[in-house]
A and B are shown apart, each in its own frame.
Chain A
Amino acid sequence: MTEKLHGYVEKIKEKNADWVVAVAEGHGEITVTVPREAILDVCSFLRFEQGFDMLADLCGGDRGPEEDPRFEVNYHLFSTVHYMRLRLKVLLSEDDPNVPTLTTLWQTANWHERETYDLVGIKFTGHPDLRRILLPSDFDGHALRKDYPLRGYEPYSLN
Chain B
Amino acid sequence: MATAVENIPSQLEVMDQPLESEMTLSMGPQHPSTHGVLRLDLKLDGELVVNVIPDIGYLHTGMEKLFEYKKYQQGIVITDRMDYLNPLGNNLAYVMAAEKLLDLEIPERAQVIRVLMCELQRLASHMVWLGTSALDLGAMSVFFFCFRQREKILNLIEAASGGRMTPSYFRIGGLMMDLPAGFDNRVKQFLDDFPEALSTFETLVTGNTIWQSRTKGIGVIERDEAINWGLTGPSLRASGVELDLRRHNPYTGYEKYDFDIPTETDGDVWSRFRVRMRELNESHKIVRQALERLKPGPTKADAPKIVLPDRDDMRKHMDSLIHHFLIVAEGFNVPPGEVYHAIEASKGELGVYMKSNGGPKPERVHFRGPSFVNLAALPVMSEGEMVADVVAIIGSLDIVLGEIDR
Contacts and interface: CB of A to CB of B under 8 A. Distances in A.
A53 B225 CA distance: 11
Contacts, number: 100
Interface residues of A, number: 38
Per DSSP, chain B at the interface is: mixed
B119 interface: no
A26 B376 contact: no
B227 A144 contact: no
Nearest to A109: B230
A111 interface: yes
Interface string B339-382: 11010000001010101000000011010100011001100100
Nearest to A58: B368
B338 A57 contact: no
Contact of A133 (B57, B230, B377): B57
Interface stretch (B60-68, B285-293, B308-316): B60-68
A57 B353 contact: yes
Interface string B227-249: 11110100000000101000011
A31 B340 CA distance: 11
B279 interface: no
Contacts of B353: 57, 59, 74, 76
Nearest to A115: B372
A74 B353 CA distance: 9
B368 A56 contact: yes
B65 A31 contact: no
A101 interface: no
Interface in B372-397: 372-373, 376-377, 380
Contacts of A148: 65
Interface string B99-118: 01101000000000000000
Interface stretch (A5-13, A36-44, A80-88, A91-99): A80-88
B69 interface: yes
B340 A87 contact: yes
Given A26-B337, A57-B366, A135-B57, A143 B62 contact: yes
A55 interface: yes
A61 B227 contact: no
Interface in A107-155: 107-108, 110-112, 115, 119, 132-136, 143-144, 148, 150
B405 interface: yes
B239 to A, nearest CB: 11
B249 A108 contact: no
Contact of B342 (A56, A108, A119): A56
Contacts of B56: 133-134
A87 to B, nearest CB: 6
A74 to B, nearest CB: 6
A136 B57 contact: yes
B337 A27 contact: yes
Contact of A134 (B60, B227, B243, B377): B60
Given A106-B230, A108-B376, A59 B366 contact: yes
B404 to A, nearest CB: 9
A98 B60 CA distance: 25
Contacts of B406: 134
Interface in A63-79: 63, 74, 76, 78
A54 B227 contact: yes
Given A27-B100, A61-B364, A111 B57 contact: no
Contacts of B339: 26-27, 29
Most chain A beta-carbon neighbours within 10 Å: one of B230, B232, B363, B376: B230
Given A108-B228, A108-B229, A111-B373, A134 B405 contact: yes
B342 A80 contact: no
A61 B355 contact: yes
A144 B65 contact: yes
Nearest to B335: A26
Contact of A111 (B243, B349, B376): B376
B90 to A, nearest CB: 15
Most chain A beta-carbon neighbours within 10 Å: one of B249, B338, B363: B338
B340 A76 contact: yes
Contacts of A85: 249, 340, 342
Nearest to B69: A150
A59 B380 CA distance: 23
Contacts of B69: 150
Given A27-B100, A76-B340, A108-B230, A134 B57 contact: yes
Contacts of B338: 26, 29, 31, 74, 87
CB-CB nearest 7 A-B residue pairs: A108-B230, A57-B368, A59-B366, A134-B57, A83-B248, A111-B376, A134-B60
